[in-house]
Amino acid sequence: MDTITGAKILVTGPNSSVGLPVALDLATRNEVWGVARFGNADLRARLEAGGVHCETVDFATADFTGLPDDFDYVCNFAVARGGDGDWDRDLAANGEAVGLLLARCRRATAFLHCSSTAVYQPAGAHPLAETDSLGDNHRAMFATYSIAKIASEVVARTACRQFGVPTTVARLNVPYGDHLGWPWFHLKMMEAGLAIPVHPDRPNRFNPIHADDIVRQVPWLLAAASVPATVVNWAGGPATVEEWCGLIAELTGLEARFEETERTIGSVTTDNTRMHALVGPAEVDWRTGITRMVAANR
């Protein structure tokens, strides 16, 4: 399914760095509704200017009764990272809200739940497949994030079976683009003369995926939805923090200075075999994507 046209689509978290380009792209061909708290008025205005109908919803309370119940597709990009360790709020926003949303949208043709490779048990350079052990690999930076994302997957899988809504759970690994993502933050840190934190278990391996590939693959991930839910990694080709910061340094003349610390995320690299079979590989090579990112910011 290369594209979706003429559908009624709900996008949660449309003001997030990942949800924004997806919502704006879908709105060029569909009736798109976006729900979030919308604390940033400029982002809401940008979405509305792009044709997205915005409704204010707090996922910690998850009151979806004011929303229509006739969406053809639902793309759930809402997330609460919870740096302050409020477990009740973050489990409600990430977990309970997913079940309540699926119950409200049980007439949907397909539901895409954007999860994260933060759900995996740290395994160094081992490429993680969907059947590998789960764990708490983001605790060093976000106290509740990994566990809350695991909980959200369980709720999505349960509601998928309970309500018979075909669902895809896609575990995203380092999304980035011209003005979003971890590499973009590293560029800004280098511009400020700051050291880049890296885990002592080096090199720090990940699978960054460009926003263009995320937008392009959303229809395919919806087409792959099933009951029970399809679970799949969502990632690009392998690269290390050291490699992409080195390329940023080469392109800008800035210094890539690293500081080893265990208070950062260690390697999370993925086996993309299932993804390639279902939706095909990412097309934007990380070197091309980083080069574009630097050009857009310098």
Mean pLDDT of the chain: 96
Instruction: Specify the pLDDT at position 28.
Output: 98
Instruction: Specify the pLDDT at position 273.
Output: 98
Superfamily for the 8-176+209-236+270-283 domain: NAD(P)-binding Rossmann-like Domain (3.40.50.720)
Domain ranges of the chain: 8-176+209-236+270-283
Sign for the CA dihedral angle at 35, 152, 109, 132 comes to: positive
Instruction: Specify the pLDDT at position 82.
Output: 66
Which string of DSSP letters, residue by residue, matches 94-117?
IIIHHHHHHHHTTT-SEEEEEEEG
Whole-number CA gyration radius for the chain: 18
37: DSSP letter = -
Instruction: Specify the pLDDT at position 141.
Output: 83
Spell out, as residue ranges, where the chain has pLDDT lower than 70.
82-83
Instruction: Specify the pLDDT at position 220.
Output: 98
Best CA proximity match to 55, nearest among 73, 86, 78: 78
What are the tens digits of pLDDT across the range 236-290? 999 999 999 999 999 999 999 999 999 999 999 999 999 999 999 999 999 999 9
The type of residue at 6 is G
| Rounded CA separation 283/201 (Å) | 29
User: 């840190």: which residue's tokens?
Assistant: 189
| Rounded CA separation 16/23 (Å) | 10
Instruction: Specify the pLDDT at position 218.
Output: 98
